[in-house]
Amino acid sequence: MIRCSVPRHRYGLPRRAHSVFAVALPVLAVLMAASIAIGSRPVPLAEVAQALIAYDPSNDLHLVVRTLRVPRSLLGVTAGAALGLAGAVMQAVTRNPLAEPGLLGVNAGAAVAVVLSASALGLTSMTDYMWFGILGAGFAGAAVFVLGRAHVSGTDPVRLVLAGAGLSVLLGAATAFVILNAGLDILDSFRAWSAGALEGRGMTVVQVMAIALIAGGGLSLMLAPDLNALALGHETGAALGMSPRRTWAFACAAVMVLCGVATAAAGPIGFVGLVAPHVARAISGPDNRLILPLSAIFGAAILLMADIIGRIIARPDEIAAGIVATLLGGPFFIYVVRRFRLARL
């Protein structure tokens, strides 16, 4: 009897995955600590630890840490992870290196749905209008995918990006029109939100964002083997037992949840979903079982870093994390365009 011995790592994750996560997770932890400590009023790390371990309500620094900095940092982690995951799923399912929720109009669709629900229905709680964010993300994504023919094997990046850019401009103008012509309460509520600011959110928003990340992220990770098969082409993937329609349906559902709730919680933030998957792919290779979780970690790190930079360069004022993320991601977008030369994949 002949026995065939196959190295275990071919079926499981590569051995280097452990070292990658061993580095990425501590870096994210350091950024979280910096996010809690840095601000218009710096808080020493020893005081941060004391506020987390032995909270004293009479200490104003403890109040700053617990009520302001911790929810803000956790929102940056969860929203950034959601956007990074959504970008990785979109790039995998369309086989397009330029696919990203902000560039393809998904975030803009969620934003206009959130603003319209708040203006027309008077919704003020994130737990109320997040459902409209999910629906808006779904409708916008479907429109862009149809216009850009993203369901066809051999997606044309030019067509898809142009469709997304056109829809983003249209929906962005609609969002601005609604905000500027709404009442003062809507204008005050969504002025900072529309720039992608993380401050002023409570733990309730963080909890909703965490639930959405668990649901959408869990579905995305379950799709990783199918996304690996889809990368070989629709015919080859189907021969390996992957259903293209089912994979597309579940991928769209995951992106809708991740982008819809992230936009409702933190505003329309672009380029995080573009940069994070490329960094993850450069480190891990083409295996989506590694790309997806690493994209979540790098997305969280990028958004936290953007928020920290926005607090430092304009101290004692702040620049919204969404604006900083755009300034950082814009040059990377140009680099990706030049590298891939927008050729048909």
Read off the pLDDT band of 12 (50, 70, 90): low
Indicate the length of the chain as a whole number. 345
Read off the pLDDT band of 35 (50, 70, 90): very high
Alpha-carbon distance of 124 to 179, in angstroms, equals 14
Torsion, Cα of 74, 315, 43, 66 (10° steps): -40
In contact, 322 and 270? CB cutoff 8 Å: yes
76-340: what CATH class?
mainly alpha
pLDDT tens for 108-139 read 999 999 998 888 887 777 778 888 999 999 99
pLDDT of 215 higher than 60:
yes
pLDDT tens for 248-262 read 889 989 999 999 999
Q: Where are the domains of the chain?
A: 34-65, 76-340
Lowest mean pLDDT among 66-70, 151-155, 223-227, 243-247: 151-155
Residue indicated by tokens 């397009």: 96
Residue 251 corresponds to which amino acid?
A: A
State residue 6's pLDDT score: 35
3-class SS of residue 83: helix
In contact, 268 and 194? CB cutoff 8 Å: yes
Read off the pLDDT band of 280 (50, 70, 90): very high
277-298 average pLDDT score: 92
Distance (Å) of CA 315 to CA 39, 42, 289, 318, 319: 8, 11, 40, 6, 9
State residue 152's pLDDT score: 55
pLDDT of 344 higher than 60:
no
State residue 1's pLDDT score: 36
Angle at 296 between CA 292 and CA 297, to 5 degrees: 120
State residue 77's pLDDT score: 97
Q: What DSSP string runs through 230-274?
A: HTT-HHHHHHTT--HHHHHHHHHHHHHHHHHHHHHHH----SHHH
In contact, 193 and 129? CB cutoff 8 Å: no
What pTM value is reported for the model? 0.89
pLDDT of 336 higher than 70:
yes
Alpha-carbon distance of 129 to 198, in angstroms, equals 17
159-181 average pLDDT score: 84
